[in-house]
Chains A and B, each alone.
Chain A
Amino acid sequence: MSAAESATAIHRNQVDLLDFIDWSGVECLNQSSSHPLPNALKQGYREDEGLNLESDADEQLLIYIPFTQVIKLHSIVVMGSEEDGPKTVKLFANREHMGFSNVSDFPPSDTAVLSQDNLKGKPVVVKYVKFQNVRSLTIFIEDNQSGSEITKVQKIALYGSTVETADMKGLKKIEDH
């Protein structure tokens, strides 16, 4: 998939899943208290380059995002700086309350190694088939670009569609044809 294609894929029927995040259940392990998760997730905060999500004790981060309804995840955008931005990102669908100790217990639904382009905003398309029925998403940031002690994430955006909406669009397409 070329960059152009994936970009249009987002625009076509994928929406920013920000509205479907269940904020009461959002958790982030090993985040620094002065640089918490909303800095990277929330509208407005994530656009601000000065506000980052930073890790605390070491460079790993474990982010748990539940949704208010079932969604399909198409792609994610993870933005960060060149050195401290995340490198290896593992995604787990529908795993509740994971801890650092059991991230290796089961295989991730998808793994992404972020390039510098990704860190600048290019979305990472995920294995769509694995994210058809997602109630919650766990993002495990394993390490960062330069191997430093602290990982800094400026923005995390999720793109996909809701299950109902997708059905509607599916109906429409059939009618068109």
Chain B
Amino acid sequence: MVLEATMICIDNSEWMRNGDYGPSRFQAQADAVNLICGAKTQSNPENTVGVLTMAGKGVRVLVTPTSDLGKILACMHGLEIGGEMNLAAGIQVAQLALKHRQNKKQQQRIIVFAGSPVKHEKKTLEMIGKKLKKNSVTLDIVNFGEDDEGKTEKLEALLAAVNNNDTSHIVHIPAGPNALSDVLLSTPIFTGDGEGGSGFAASAAAAAAGGISGFEFGVDPNLDPELALALRVSMEEERARQEAAAKKAAEESSKQEKGGEEQDATMTERASEGASEADNKKNEFLALAMSMDEPASSQDLQDTEMSDAAAEDPELALALQLSVQDSAKDSSSQADMSKLLADQSFVSSILASLPGVDPNNPSVKEVLASMQSQSEPQQKQDEDKAPKEEDKK
């Protein structure tokens, strides 16, 4: 979240016509510029970004540092390719543009895209670097495109002259299947001096990394984020389900004390129809229980199957069951669930914890008694309802 004014120096020389970075070097550069501008303005709304071109007829400032993303994107249109890049002049003009920034509190940064050969001497570049360091301007160099002898060396020397405590970076990007912008996303230019970068950059980097290394679920998060999210969530659900099953088995064996009929009856009641008063009351109780026991229990559980048939009561019951279990995941093992329902200690513990519930309340008792008798058929219904998990909270 550093407050920064950035000048981006674009190489629009003849060498940018080359297509080794798809679709063309120049286009790849433009994409990268857009990405950088977005990331900078997102990480801090007061950041400003400016753009200048280094080749063509001469160094030309297209946009002075501004936080208006639209302006920056617009100026990238209609840029002509031609001429030779003048790195020294470009950096110096960038420095001047930064010196006259409106908000003097912003840190000064220059990002240079060096795609064509560098014709300056190493000495010249070192002196420029020193001057930048003296005026506390940081420099990021993107070395791509042409790689004639000495270019890398010169750029490294320039970086060494500017670098003050690792605030300046150089990135070498060889031509390859990955887009220039994608590779840039994972570099310190985006992640910003080890801060961790903005959410924008981080998520984009994760997406790009996923893309490069082979998608986790065979789906590109960029192309289809919802599907990717659904896949990821269902995997977590499954994992949690298995955990829950294991935990249930352990809990069942430990809870054998009381014999309150009421408790599981309540739960089974929930799982079935129930539109009676007592049911409603129990709904409240259950809601209370849910909110008290595990407020966050069902958070990560998201039903990607979108079942719309589940009525409120069954959902409540299911949710209660979920909250009762520590892992708060519905068990795919129906046998376990019904056993759990039948386990009175569970229900008793829940009811006891509810503030407004009085198990001695006649209406409660009545319904519970009736429920108990229905517990067998209820279990079957539970099985049906179980897959329809929905997070009630």
Give A contacts to B, CB under 8 Å.
Answer: 29-30, 33, 56-58, 60, 96-97, 99-101
User: Does chain A have a CB within 8 A of B104?
Assistant: yes
Judging by beta carbons under 8 Å apart, are B130 and A58 in contact? yes
Closest partner residue, chain B, to A96 (CB atom): B104
- Contact A57:B165 (CB < 8 A) given known A96-B104, A97-B104, A99-B99: no
| B135 in complex: contacting residue of A33, A96, A100, CB < 8 Å | A100
CB-CB nearest in chain B for A102: B99
In the bound complex, do residue B134 and residue A29 qualify as a contact, i.e. CB atoms below 8 Å apart? yes
Q: Is B172 in contact with chain A by the CB < 8 A criterion?
A: no
State A51–B165 Cα separation when bound (angstroms).
Answer: 19
**Would you give the shortest CB distance from A117 to chain B, in whole angstroms?**
30
Inter-chain pairs besides A29-B136, A33-B165, A56-B134, 9 sampled, C-beta below 8 Å: A29-B135, A30-B134, A30-B135, A56-B133, A57-B133, A96-B104, A99-B99, A101-B99, A101-B135
The 8 closest A-B pairs by CB, nearest first: A57-B134, A30-B134, A57-B130, A97-B104, A57-B133, A33-B165, A99-B135, A29-B136
Chain B residues, Cβ within 8 Å of A57: 130-131, 133-134
How many A-B pairs with Cβ below 8 Å?
27
Residues of B within 8 A of A60 (CB): 134
Check B370 for interface membership: any CB of A closer than 8 A: no
Q: CB within 8 Å of A: which of B159-216?
A: 164-165
> Which residues of the partner chain A approach B131 to less than 8 Å between Cβ atoms?
57
**Interface membership of chain B positions 127-165, coded 1 if the CB is closer than 8 angstroms to chain A and 0 otherwise:** 000110111100000000000000000000000000011
Tell me the count of chain B residues lying within 8 A, CB to CB, of chain A: 10
Interface residues of B (CB under 8 A from A): 99, 104, 130-131, 133-136, 164-165
- Chain B: CB-nearest residue to A34: B165
| Beta-carbon nearest neighbor of A61 in chain B | B134
- A77-B135 Cα distance, complex, nearest whole Å: 26
Closest chain A CB from B383 CB (angstroms)? 66
| A residues in contact with B133, CB < 8 Å | 30, 56-57
CB-CB < 8 A to A99: which residues of B?
99, 135
Q: Once bound together, how far apart are the Cα atoms of A101 and B136, in whole Å?
A: 13
Question: Can you pick out 11 interface pairs between chain A and chain B where the beta carbons lie within 8 Å of each other?
Answer: A29-B134, A29-B136, A30-B133, A30-B136, A56-B133, A57-B130, A58-B134, A96-B104, A97-B104, A99-B99, A99-B135
Closest to B136 in A: A29
With both beta carbons as reference points, the residue of chain B lying nearest to A30 in the complex is identified as: B134
Closest chain A CB from B261 CB (angstroms): 70
Specify the chain B residue showing the minimal Cβ separation from A56. B133
Complex CA distance for A99 and B164, rounded to whole angstroms: 18
Q: Which of A33, A58, A100 contacts B164 (CB 8 A)?
A: A33
Cα separation A101 to B99 with both chains bound (whole Å): 10
With most chain B CB atoms within 10 A of its CB, the pick from A29, A57, A58, A60 is A57
A56 near B99 with CB under 8 A, answer no
The docked-state distance in angstroms from the alpha carbon of A96 to that of B102 is 13
Docked pose: A30 CA to B137 CA in angstroms = 10
Contacts of A30 in B (CB 8 A): 133-136
Residues of A within 8 A of B104 (CB): 96-97
User: B133 → chain A, closest Cβ, in Å?
Assistant: 5
